[in-house]
Amino acid sequence: MTKAELKNLIDAAAGRRKADFVIKNCRIVNVLSGEIYLGEVAIADGKIVGMGKTEYDGEKIFDAQGKFLAPGFIDAHIHIESSYISPEQLGRIIVPCGTTSIIADPHEIANVCGLKGIRYMLDAAQRTKLNIIDAMPSCVPATPFEDAGAILEAADMLELIDNENIFGLGEFMNVPGIVNADDKVLDKILMAKKFGKLIDGHAPNVSGKNLNAYMCAEIVGDHECRTLDEMNERIAKGMYVLIRQGSACHDLKILIKGVTPANSRRVLLCSDDCQPKTIFERGHMNGNLKLCVEEGIDPITAIQLATINVAEAFRLHDRGAIKIGARADLVLLDDLENFRVANVWIGGELVAEDGKYLPEILPADISSVRGSVKVKNFSVDRLKLNLTSGKVNVIEIEPGGVVTKKIVAEVQFDETGDFIFDADKDICKIAVIERHHETGKVGLGLLSGYGIKRGAIAVSVAHDSHNIIAAGVNNEEIFCAVEALIKMEGGMVLVKDGKIISSIALPIAGLMSDMTGEELKEKLDELHEKAHAELGINKNVEPVMTLTFMSLPVIPEIKLTARGLFDYNQFKFVSIEA
């Protein structure tokens, strides 16, 4: 800020010059004092210079007609890639929901494209009014047990870590690496600290001494809590807890019961992974606030979870509250029950009105992150199992989240040892095919709870290394789906009786579409409908996002990578035969 700019702010605040504009007749939601009162807010040069009952004159006047003026909402943890749309398009659909800032971890695209993927995300972030604060992905790959498209060590991160739009290291999923004081892991942590950067967390099922050891890295918070005991232990030991409510994980109703007047300022709201369908139907952070109030949380407390708490946790001192000197990131609400958004301002600019995003969108160039699907030596024979026993380890889906259970089941196999599908048993074949370096690796397993009865589905989104993941009733159907996916250079494909019945191209690193959010929702709705109606996938299971998490080995209890079946509890590969 120059001296002239500072003088302008002071003069506007003192009333010696007109503010740029004034929002009058609004009920100010003060998350700092816990009050709601009738007043006005004056803005100059994109910052708040006056608030309360003091009257200001402005070049423009906006009559709020008694509606509630709150700080812009902040999503404490999200992966843009998991919306399947570009950063510009995500901004276009969540800004009208009142979200003005997000803490984004681009580790999905980093696992495919490395630093060039992060550079693309930083470029795209500049093309939306949404404030995107990015992380430097900490775990590329997430574990040493996967085949990602890139490897990022501490030395590689130096190129971008000091970027002003990068807050620090993204969720540190390699918990054993920290707990066991692995040299390369410590290098990353110390590198971040050298630049004064924060470190976000990811520690499912970690407690006691292991949690203590993990927190010695000064982890900010954890969005992987699933029980009140986990939540309370983290808060008591100094972590922030991020309550997650998105498309795949629905933890809010369980964990919000643990929020009290004593601990509420240590709790944040996040979506983690959120598809356009969810946003159009339930909103974004405004939808999560509605759920909080429905569960008995005071509206001001609820708003704190999505504003000032996030700002304080991530050192975003210029936002998160309606306060003097802060960015004028503001949301005007009709009520504090449904949280219907009337208007949104970012940096003092009106950017959304009555659900419509107002600025023009100029998308970033995606050429650097296209053509990411590279598969070698794949054939239908690579999908055959060689069982000698019908007693097998199976990945069982637990509805409502991405955690799985390891079960032992009896299945049939043919004279060659290959698995025989039986629709009555709800166990199907699942495959992960390496798609980055043409290694030819194919991991095979069995999946329960998915419900597929016909055909196959293949997707080039498979957390976190994002190889191809496919599930189906026989080898031929799976092969057909995967082959189609390879030809379209990434996306989603449904196959039935050897024919494609639905598909969506994802040209941006095989993770994101170049369509609008509305276009993608329409295509996804069609794909979901056919997945349930024609393939028979369990109606209680989200067919795409659920499948994409079946390859994430840092989430309990058992998953499949291109190298084989991985047991989280033992932290090693195990045989498919029990």
Banded pLDDT at 499 (limits 50, 70, 90): very high
By residue range, what is the domain housing residue 226? Answer: 75-300
Please indicate, yes or no, whether residues 154 and 256 belong to a single structural domain of this protein: yes
pLDDT digits (tens, 9 = 90+) for 163-215: 999 999 999 998 989 999 999 999 999 999 999 999 999 998 999 999 999 99
- Residue partners of 487: CB distance under 8 A and separation at least 6: none
Please indicate, yes or no, whether residues 62 and 96 belong to a single structural domain of this protein: no
Please indicate, yes or no, whether residues 86 and 56 belong to a single structural domain of this protein: no
Q: Is residue 401 part of a domain?
A: yes
pLDDT digits (tens, 9 = 90+) for 428-453: 999 999 999 999 999 999 999 999 99
Per DSSP (E only), the strands in 14-72 are 19-30, 35-44, 47-52, 58-63, 68-71
Q: Is residue 311 part of a domain?
A: no
Residue 47 has a pLDDT of 98
Q: How far is CA 224 from CA 145, 190, 251, 461, in A?
A: 21, 24, 9, 21
Write out the two tokens for 252: 């809010």
Q: Is residue 456 part of a domain?
A: yes
**Bridge partners, residue 123, by sequence:** none
Please indicate, yes or no, whether residues 475 and 549 belong to a single structural domain of this protein: yes
Domain boundary among 66, 92, 112: 66
Q: What are phi and psi of 404, to 5 degrees?
A: -120, 165
Q: What are phi and psi of 40, to 5 degrees?
A: -145, 160
Give the Cα separation of 85 and 286 in Å (integer): 20
Q: Quick one: DSSP state of residue 493?
A: E
Please indicate, yes or no, whether residues 54 and 80 belong to a single structural domain of this protein: no
Please indicate, yes or no, whether residues 274 and 409 belong to a single structural domain of this protein: no
Alpha helix ranges (H) inside 52-182: 87-94, 107-113, 115-125, 154-157, 175-179
Alpha helix ranges (H) inside 400-550: 475-487, 517-533, 543-548
Give the Cα separation of 209 and 536 in Å (integer): 45
By the 10 Å C-beta count (0-12 exposed, 13-18 middle, 19+ buried), 459 is classed as buried
Residue 247 has a pLDDT of 83
Q: Work out how many domains the chain is built from and give that number.
A: 3
Please indicate, yes or no, whether residues 452 and 519 belong to a single structural domain of this protein: yes
pLDDT of residue 556 exceeding 90:
no
Write out the two tokens for 552: 């994430």
Residue 249 has a pLDDT of 83
Give the Cα separation of 71 and 504 in Å (integer): 37
pLDDT of residue 488 exceeding 70:
yes
Q: Is residue 339 part of a domain?
A: no
CATH (domain of 56): 2.30.40.10
Write out the two tokens for 154: 């501490």
Residue 145 has a pLDDT of 84
Q: Is residue 327 part of a domain?
A: no
Evaluate whether 105 touches 171 at the Cβ level (below 8 Å): yes
Please indicate, yes or no, whether residues 123 and 244 belong to a single structural domain of this protein: yes
Domain boundary among 66, 99, 120: 66
Domain boundary among 66, 97, 120: 66
For 462-478, the three-class secondary structure string (H helix, E strand, C coil) is CCCCCCEEEEECCHHHH
Please indicate, yes or no, whether residues 192 and 96 belong to a single structural domain of this protein: yes
pLDDT of residue 303 exceeding 90:
yes
The dihedral region occupied by 498, where left means phi > 0, alpha psi between -120 and 50, and beta the remainder, is: left
Give the Cα separation of 511 and 372 in Å (integer): 10
Residue 184 has a pLDDT of 95
Banded pLDDT at 248 (limits 50, 70, 90): confident
| Other Cβ atoms within 10 Å of 57 Cβ, number | 12
Residue 401 has a pLDDT of 67
CATH (domain of 211): 3.20.20.140
Q: Is residue 363 part of a domain?
A: no
pLDDT of residue 224 exceeding 70:
yes
Percent of the chain with pLDDT over 90: 92
Please indicate, yes or no, whether residues 84 and 56 belong to a single structural domain of this protein: no
Evaluate whether 402 touches 82 at the Cβ level (below 8 Å): no
DSSP three-state, residue 572: strand
Give the Cα separation of 527 and 514 in Å (integer): 17
Please indicate, yes or no, whether residues 468 and 502 belong to a single structural domain of this protein: yes
Residue 400 has a pLDDT of 64
> HSE-up of 509 (CA within 13 Å, CB side)?
34
Closest CA to 430 of 398, 466, 469, 401: 469
Q: Quick one: DSSP state of residue 497?
A: T
Please indicate, yes or no, whether residues 58 and 88 belong to a single structural domain of this protein: no
Q: Is residue 81 part of a domain?
A: yes
Residue 85 has a pLDDT of 97
Banded pLDDT at 281 (limits 50, 70, 90): very high
Indicate the average pLDDT of the chain.
Answer: 96
pLDDT of residue 349 exceeding 80:
yes
pLDDT digits (tens, 9 = 90+) for 93-114: 999 999 999 999 999 999 999 9
Percent of the chain with pLDDT over 70: 100
pLDDT digits (tens, 9 = 90+) for 353-402: 999 999 999 999 999 999 999 999 899 999 999 999 999 999 999 876 67
Q: Is residue 333 part of a domain?
A: no
Closest CA to 135 of 161, 96, 174: 161
Residue 69 has a pLDDT of 98
